[in-house]
Structure 1
Amino acid sequence: MQKRIAELGASEKPQNPKARILSYRLDGQLVYYFNAPCCDQYSTLYSAKGTVLCHPDGGFTGRGDGKCPDFEKSRTEERLVWEDPR
């Protein structure tokens, strides 16, 4: 995650909407949500080990890749981990 934060912070222009990383509990597991950089792009949900679990939202339909359709209803304990300060 630190590598990804460094990449986001080193980009020439800040992401719009602002790059944010949120943590949640999903089915008892800690997961990390990285919001999409813009328009019709997928957000990404990672396991605590850094494995991509799914893309819960975004894309042309706004519904992600369909691999975690219950993410919005099942997630708990939202915490802001990082937000681009720019």
Structure 2
Amino acid sequence: MAVSFGCDRDRLPKGTPQCVRDEIEKIKQAPVWNPPLKVYRYLYKGQTVYYIPVYQCCDFASQLVDENCNVVCSPDGGLSGRGDGRCPDFTATRSNEKLVWQDTRKP
């Protein structure tokens, strides 16, 4: 008899790119953010992208990566709070939001 002791809450959707998985593992090693972090998948300009708020504060920008782990842009954060300026329409035009992962640890 095989017994598995995995956590279903940490199971990521099939097809989640390795770079997204790696960022989630880094996040899980850091203190819990308040509110706890969530990673989402969207459709943006005809491609599947993953929104990763990389850092919680201090002028760091979020990342938007495609299915091949190419950085598309930084939609927010950074010095201006508006990311790198390469996808200013992301929030207004993204669609098909799917929650990929959320940190369920308590702050």
Sort the TM-score into its range (normalised by shorter chain): 0.7 to 0.9
Aligned 1:1-86 pairs, distance under 5 A = 1-11=20-30, 13-39=31-57, 40-86=59-105
Identity %: 41
Higher normalized strand content (fraction of residues): 1
Provide TM-score, normalisation by structure 1.
Answer: 0.85
Structure 1, unmatched stretches of 5+, are none
Say which one has the larger Rg.
Answer: 2
C-alpha distance in structure 2 between counterparts of 1:28 and 1:18, whole Å: 29
The number of aligned residues is: 85
Structure 2: where are the runs of 5+ without partners? Answer: 1-19
Query: Residue type matched to 2:50 in 1?
Result: Y
Q: TM-score, normalising length from structure 2?
A: 0.71
CA RMSD of aligned residues (A): 1.5
Kindly report structure 1 stretches of 4+ aligned residues shifted beyond 6 Å.
none
